[in-house]
Structure 1
Amino acid sequence: MQKDTEEFLRNIRELRGKINDVKQQISTITKNDQLKTINGVSLLDVKNIGLLQYITNLAFLIHIKLDGKPLSEHSVVMNLVELRVVLEKIKPIEQKLKYQIDKLIRTAKFGENTETERATAKAAMIDPLSFKPNPDNFVAGTEESKNDVTDDSQGVYKAPKLAPVHFEEDKGNLSKREKERARALVRASKSRLMKDIITEYDDRPEEVAIIGASQESIAQLDDKDKQKIAERERYEEENFMRLVLPKKELKRMKASTVRELENEFENLNDFSNLANIHEDIRPSDVNVLARRKRRDKMANDEEMDEDADELTQQSRRKMENNKRHELFDGLLTDPNKIKKRRTKFETLKRRMKRQKR
């Protein structure tokens, strides 16, 4: 209690000192006849009056509490609430008029040095909207802008200088790309080739085909069909007996096996879903493979050239031998009966076909 009393007395002394300072400032203003606010901003007058009334009512409220009287007999609380609401509503309006108030304070502080400022201040009293920024008061254009004007007058087009801005893609396109990528990953994971790779290199037990269909064909079934198959398997394992399937079910399972075999042939060249795996190969590995392929190709080309040269030599020998026999016999062979010899291109083509086989 003693600490609170000392603090209260200290605040009272500070308040009295500040009140004396305010009295001195007001007295100097009244002597210089500077209290005329007719030509000022009326909003500030309302704010000053409201704030003064709020402080007065607040002091009266403190006086009532110190006397120990009940607050229900006085309307000071409602007056304080009303004044507080008025002061809160003034804040956004004052923020909108901040530019106008700052300009008037700057004019009053530094004085009106130019005729334009005097005209602006005079027009502001008539039209408050004249306090908005005026683009004409900006710095005059540089020589480049003048040259641009001359070029425009001459009819030469000059592209405008635009600041580079980062392009932000539409979120819809991004989500669409992500969905397509996810679908591609799912397709790749379900491909036959990927399953074979997983079966070969994975440590988990290998999945084997069940009665009438494989795991792949079961994966294509609905949840209802999978549930039926699971129930049938459970019943057969518990009772140690096979259930006789109806004809419709047998036909359906037969169709699924046929479809599975068709998919086996379709997936022989299914490498499209594994394109991303090829991108993960290191550049060094790719270069090694490329060099190996190039070396093998060069070796094959050299062998084919040697074979072609050998074939041409053999054909020349045969032609010379035939000519010798014809000269020796003294007879001319029938041109229609002479067999047409293969060209070098046809021989090489035939040899390549044999190698492919």
Structure 2
Amino acid sequence: MVQALDYDCEAQGQDIPQAIQLLGEMNSNVKQVTDLVEGMLQRVKRGELTTEYGLSFLEVKYHMLLDYLINLTYVVLRKCSGETIEGDPSIERLIEIRTVLEKIRPIDHKLRYQIDKLVKTATTGVSSSTDPILYKPNPDDMMSSAGGAGRDEDDGEDDSDEEDEDDDEEDEDEAGAAKMPRKAATAGKSGVYVPPRIKPVYYDGDERDADKEKKALDRAKKRAITSSMLQDLKEEYLDAPTEISSGSRAQQMLSQAQKEKQEYEETYLMRLPVTKAEKHRQRKLTTLGTLGDEILGEISRESALRGDGSKKRKLAKKGKGKKRGGKKRKFH
């Protein structure tokens, strides 16, 4: 019994300094919160902060947090006063509020971007220029541009060419501010709508028409070098050894690519996926090979039939010549 009392005294001696430290932190935090709330109330009363348009989700969440703190403070007060909290309705209320706050956490995570953007806009008064939502397609701009084009045509029928030019300039000035994101996306291409690029792609904005033609010519030369006709000429006039095969040049290229792919898979012990282009190429070559076999088979069968017929005709001619040299039959 004496040992138990000594242990309780030691535990109380260790807990008392911690409790005093926590109470001091609570007092300082309560003072900071009180000053912050009083300042916000003064700003709301002066009209500096508008609470008319807000998010109902945040309003409900803050009310529940406030209710949770009130009930928690009441429970702490009863425990500090030495009263029992068993069966107290505040405990059930705390459990209910804690459960609801845990359940709405996924909703809070989904609305975090929207809430942060609204808070930043309300604080600074200016939306960020890097916001990707500014570059989304706006159907109103398309309708306004179509309406402006219709108005320009009507004005052209009634007014002179100079007045038409003035109207076009005014329409462009009015719609310039609203169409800045779309102009940035089009990158100087007039009359063509280009959707915003959200994935990294090859930049060809500074590429000239001459460079594009040169690249197209290089690609055409590369295709010509790998063509079947040029390969046949090389095999005919060069002294390099040739490999005799029954397949076409396209089939040889496909088999070479499959061989390289198989070597890569065996080297790195990994299976490469088959793309749609490879499936289409294999299906196309299979179809061409099947048609070629059928055509060659028909030709061979026809030639065989023609060869048999010619032999029969030759034998028949030889037989007729022998009969002419023999005895003639008389018919009565």
TM-score range normalised by the length of the shorter chain: 0.3 to 0.5
Where relative contact order (Cα < 8 A, 6+ residues apart) is larger, the structure is 1
**TM-score relative to the length of structure 2:** 0.37
**TM-score relative to the length of structure 1:** 0.34
